[in-house]
Amino acid sequence: MKTSESVGLGTERWIRIPAKGVEPTTGLHRSYIYELIKAGSIRTASIKKPGALKGVRLCWLPSLLSFIERHVETTGDR
């Protein structure tokens, strides 16, 4: 399995959802990222200890970038 260390800081890595505000790599707001998760539009992982109520939610960056790419407008679309 590739990790962020083995591939550098490229796009094939897991990113943490920001505690507040905008995710710096994509420019998407935290609330919108959670909407995408709920809709099943992006790939995520929830990491928490057994029995814990809280953990950390990670997003697969390529799935976020792919979502954005599907919404790119060409110059003739306006």
Query: H or E element: which one contains 56?
Result: strand 56-60
Residue type, 77: D
Query: H or E element: which one contains 58?
Result: strand 56-60
> Per the confidence metrics, is the pTM higher than 0.85?
no
pLDDT tens for the chain, 78 residues long, are 444 444 456 778 999 999 899 999 999 999 999 999 999 999 999 999 999 999 999 999 999 999 999 999 887 655
Cα distance between residue 14 and residue 37, in whole Å:
14
Domain spans, the chain: 14-48+55-70
Q: Would you state the pLDDT for residue 74?
A: 83
Q: Would you state the pLDDT for residue 24?
A: 92
Q: Please identify which residue in the block is written with the tokens 């710096």.
A: 24
**Tokens representing 6?**
């083995």
